[in-house]
Amino acid sequence: MGAACDDAVQQLARLLDQVEEPLKKTFQNVHQGYPTETLVRFLKAREWHVTNAHKMLVDCLNWRIQNEIDSILEKPIVPVDLYRSIRESQLVGLSGYSKEGVPVFAFGVGQSTYDKASVHYYVQSHIQINEYRDRIILPMATKKFRRPITSCIKVLDMTGLKLSALSLLKILTAISAVDELNYPEKAETYYIVNAPYIFSACWKVVKPLLQERTRKKVHVLSGRGKDELLKIMDHSSIPHFCRREGSSKASLSGVDDCFSLDHPFHQELYHYIEQQALNQELIKQGSLHVDIPEQDPEDAMIVEVIQAEFHKLSEQDGSANGDHK
């Protein structure tokens, strides 16, 4: 970092020293021993504008307190059959680590249906994975590789993406708002694989609207992207949908399919939350209602552009089908 960046970090640190004690306490769960790196994340998210970064961070800390995020890993989604249904319809998992020790998270964007539970369960599940990543996975990687590892790599599988995905935009927008405002700069790189035409068409209109910092993170790979991913990670860490032909839901053993509840990552996560709840005697049924932050105006505009592009493609598809008939 340059002198100006160092000065911005120091300014933000001084402002944070002035907040009330409960906010300082929850900030410890956010930074996990690396406060400077955390301040840098919020500054990057606000283009190094100290006042805006301070507001974003304070809003995040208040959100955590108001929604009891610090104790969300003590609140399992039960019964296990419900959680299994969520895992089968919200495809996400930890596939491994890069050669530099950065966790690799996989997302089955095109085949996630979000239709087995209420939106509150899906948001709860997403935040629990975020918190487990930040409090358990990243500190373990930091210890193993003996350097601060505070972000991850995301591989997004677009297999099966259809125009009907427009109906999922509301829940995807809610999850995106949670991440953008409360977990900024947690992804160092996004790799897009198995991208169909519908994604390419949307990406063409969305890309110019993104900040340069975000555009540089996104890499749209050809096909499954296996060869490109092998440059930064071993074969065992490549998500299953990049290793072979077929869709995210093709028949695999749970150990191989990082989306499955039977995968070691999800087993460890589920049992960790279950144990935390037992320690607090908190196991009970019912979803956790978390307040969804209001989107940034820029993000809301991008969602509108995506909606417009989906409608445009839908109309073109309808015209093509009509001509065919």
- Is 321 part of a structural domain of the chain? no
pLDDT of residue 323: 47
pLDDT of residue 252: 53
Q: Are 246 and 228 found together in one domain?
A: yes
Q: What does each C-alpha distance from 128 to 55, 58, 123 come to in angstroms? A: 24, 21, 9
pLDDT of residue 319: 60
Three-state secondary structure along 222-281? CCCCHHHHCCCECHHHCCHHHHCCCCCCCCCCCCCCCCCCCCHHHHHHHHHHHHHHHHHC
Of 172, 116, 148, 122, whose CA–CA distance to 32 is shortest?
Answer: 148
Q: Are 194 and 132 found together in one domain?
A: yes
**Last residue of one domain, picked from the residues 23, 40, 68:** 68
Q: Are 253 and 117 found together in one domain?
A: yes
Which tens digit of pLDDT belongs to each residue from 41-90?
999 999 999 999 999 999 999 999 999 999 999 999 989 999 999 999 99
Q: Are 50 and 85 found together in one domain?
A: no
Q: Are 86 and 173 found together in one domain?
A: yes
Q: Are 105 and 245 found together in one domain?
A: yes
CATH number for position 107:
3.40.525.10
> What is the rounded CA–CA span in Å between residue 33 and residue 28?
7
Q: Are 88 and 204 found together in one domain?
A: yes
pLDDT (mean) for 84-100: 97
Which tens digit of pLDDT belongs to each residue from 265-279?
999 999 999 999 888
**Last residue of one domain, picked from the residues 235, 253, 275:** 275
- Is 57 part of a structural domain of the chain? yes
CATH number for position 26:
1.10.8
Q: How many separate domains does the chain show?
A: 2
Q: Are 133 and 197 found together in one domain?
A: yes
Q: Are 210 and 113 found together in one domain?
A: yes
pLDDT of residue 165: 82
> What is the rounded CA–CA span in Å between residue 99 and residue 121?
34
- Is 288 part of a structural domain of the chain? no
Which tens digit of pLDDT belongs to each residue from 190-227?
999 999 999 999 999 999 988 899 999 999 999 999 99
Q: pLDDT category, 92, cuts 50, 70, 90? A: very high
pLDDT of residue 96: 97
pLDDT of residue 283: 56
State the residue range of the domain holding 172.
77-275
- Is 144 part of a structural domain of the chain? yes
| DSSP for residue 69 | G
- Is 298 part of a structural domain of the chain? no
- Is 198 part of a structural domain of the chain? yes
Q: Are 56 and 166 found together in one domain?
A: no
Of 36, 29, 171, whose CA–CA distance to 113 is shortest?
Answer: 171
pLDDT of residue 279: 81
Q: Are 56 and 195 found together in one domain?
A: no
Name the phi and psi angles at 93, rounded to 5.
Answer: -175, 165
φ/ψ bin of 194: left (φ > 0), alpha (ψ from -120 to 50), beta (otherwise):
left
Of 166, 162, 203, 179, whose CA–CA distance to 92 is shortest?
Answer: 179
Q: Are 93 and 39 found together in one domain?
A: no
- Is 317 part of a structural domain of the chain? no
- Is 283 part of a structural domain of the chain? no
Q: What does each C-alpha distance from 133 to 38, 80, 115, 167, 252 come to in angstroms? A: 15, 21, 25, 28, 24
pTM of the model: 0.90
**Last residue of one domain, picked from the residues 68, 97, 119:** 68
